[in-house]
Amino acid sequence: MGGTATRPAQDATRDQETTETVNNADIVSHEPATGAEIWRGKPCNVDEVVDRARRAWPNWAALPLATRIELLRRFANEVRKDADRLAVTIAREVGKPLWEARAEVENVIAKVEVSIRAYAERTSQRKLDSALQGTMAVRHKPHGVLVVLGPYNLPAHLPNAHIVPALIAGNAVIFKPSEKAPATGEMLARCFHRAGISASVMQLAVGGPLEGQDFVAHGGVDGVLFTGSANTGISINRRLAARPDKLVALEMGGNNPIVLWDTPKLTDAAALIVQSAFAGAGQRCTAARRLIVKGAIYDAAIAEVKALADRLIVGAPFDEPAPFMGPMIDNMAADGLTESFLYLLSNGGKAIKHLVRPDDALPFLSPAIIDTTAMKDRPDVELFGPILQVIRVDDFDEAIAEANNTRFGLAASLVGGSPQDYNRFWANVRAGIVNWNRTTTGPSHAAPMGGIGLSGNHRPSGYYAADYCAYPVASGEMEQPRAVIGVGLK
């Protein structure tokens, strides 16, 4: 871990451009675990993609809802048929263990039925009848052409969580996968197309940040559905500040707290903490970044957490025995996390478990734990990897204040404590996901997924994605015109 200590990189780890560009044309994706090339292709022509989507959208929107739903169910069946190949591609392209990639594919499949239920519940047609006033109806319309900008950490599930609700609602979708995961994006798109959804209605648009910026600013795009870092989300928001007509749904990251309080089950608590901090190698927006611990149980609790973290296997996707976590997405991400750990260490942090990089040529990192209680100014950034900061507190009010000591507000969890403690925690912690004796990760498909502050713009995805994929239209309706002017006439 050579080098000098630097300030932790701002929260851009998830969507920095690190794929190789060859001759200023090809997008090239590499396996993090080996460095081998896995995919190569040309960036799309943004204007052509948008024009194709605009021409295709009216016919798609005019289809009966039942037809669109049937086509999405066929898509789920196509994913089932190709589940093994898709899981292997995900594992190779982003480095996650095969078991984790398979779980992601299952989430892709499950999202279809969840989205169908959500659309029926969240955008149901309603009518209020009055004999004299006719009918007041509420129905929903699609926006038009929506761009989905996907991340690499869950390269199939997270963009799919935007795409499926958008298609059900009647929008045409342009899907630009992360430039770090184009092979996964291509396989996902083919499943839509084999299901009978036109390649013009659900288009794959390969490209890097420049193409992403062009889609955001394009006049033919009616909305942008983004999952990624806060920095990029803020940039999108600024770019569209003068376009209130354009839908923007931002699902960004978090500096998420997990608070450990009184509990006799420290072994179970340690498992929840380790899963929250290190699942997906810490490359999840809901991962716990800060562990806030009651001083009276600090020593025993940290011993349990470290002992379990020491047992975690770090390895390549197809290793046996299966690893708990794989590598970072690339060497740039691993370098940035290494520098961030050194910064924390050089500015008052006390290492509990050091960050270790066994091979400088590959982006594997061990899980790391560092006590930052003594740091005067703890950086409020999303360190998108396996670094858990520990903060010791004396009372519950201090724990809540420390949990809220962030500009983000995605996920928070209380482990231990009484029902009264959880009531106080839930009422006072600023986050869109607040759990008790559960991990910060793995949000329910049947619940909204989103946060406040720098974690989102109050448009949660998950079950509530239906809310931003269609807009409500209020209609006063009578079969025959009937009206009189009762006052003010000569």
pLDDT tens track for 255-276: 999 999 999 999 999 999 999 9
Q: What is the pLDDT of residue 23?
A: 44
Mean pLDDT of the chain: 94
Residue burial 385-420, b: 16+ Cβ < 10 Å; e: rest: bbbbbbbbbeebeebbebbeebebbbbbbbbbbeee
SS3 107: helix
3-state secondary structure of 251: strand
459-461-465-471 Cα dihedral, nearest 10 degrees: 10
At 227 the three-state DSSP class reads strand
**To the nearest whole percent, how much of the chain has pLDDT over 70?**
95
Span 409-424, mean pLDDT? 98
- Answer yes or no: pTM beyond 0.85: yes
Give one word for 371, left, alpha or beta, with left for phi > 0 and alpha for psi -120 to 50.
Answer: beta
- Distance CA(425)–CA(294), nearest Å, equals 14
Q: How far apart are CA 15 and CA 168, in angstroms?
A: 27
Give the confidence band of 132 by pLDDT, cuts at 50, 70, 90: confident
Report, as an integer, the average pLDDT of 76-86.
98
Confidence at 131, pLDDT banded by 50, 70, 90: low
Q: Which helix (H) or strand (E) holds 20?
A: strand 20-22
Q: pLDDT value at position 417?
A: 98
Catalytic residues: 251, 285
Confidence of residue 24 (pLDDT cuts 50, 70, 90): low
Answer yes or no: is pLDDT of 315 > 80: yes
Binned at pLDDT 50, 70 and 90, residue 388 comes out as very high
Strand order in the sheet with 26-30: 20-22, 26-30, 37-41
Query: Do 251 and 221 meet the contact criterion of CB atoms below 8 Å apart?
Result: no
| pLDDT value at residue 129 | 84
Q: What's the average model confidence in pLDDT over 413-432? A: 98
Is the pLDDT at 5 greater than 70, yes or no? Answer: no
Which helix H or strand E contains 215, and what residues bound it?
A: helix 209-217
In the block, tokens 């707290």 appear at 257
Specify the pLDDT at position 176. 98
Give the pLDDT confidence score for residue 483 in this predicted structure. 87
Tally helices (H) and strands (E) across the chain. Answer: 14, 20
CA dihedral 360, 364, 368, 372 (to 10 degrees): 60
**pLDDT at position 416:** 98
| For residue 11, pLDDT beyond 80 | no
* Per-residue pLDDT at 214: 98
Q: Give SS3 for 199.
A: coil
- Please state, for a pLDDT cut of 90, what percent of the chain lies above it: 90
Assess whether pLDDT exceeds 80 at residue 178. Answer: yes
Q: What is the pLDDT of residue 433?
A: 98
Tell me, what's the pLDDT at 9?
42
User: What mean pLDDT comes out for the span 211-224?
Assistant: 98
What is the model's pLDDT at position 18?
40
pLDDT at 8 over 70: no
Mean pLDDT of 210-221: 97
Q: Sketch out the chain's domains with CATH numbers.
A: 43-252+456-475 (3.40.605.10), 256-436 (3.40.309.10)
DSSP 377: S
Q: What is the pLDDT of residue 362?
A: 98
Helix (H) / strand (E) element for 103: namely helix 98-122
Specify whether the CB–CB gap between 160 and 445 falls below 8 A. no
* Whole-number pLDDT of residue 133: 77
Whether the predicted pLDDT of 1 surpasses 60 = no
| pLDDT for the residue 134 | 86
What is the rounded average pLDDT of the residues 156-179?
98
Residue by residue, DSSP assigns 108-125 as: HHHHHHHHHHHHHHHT--
pLDDT in tens, 272-295: 999 999 999 999 999 999 999 999
d(CA 215, CA 225): 11
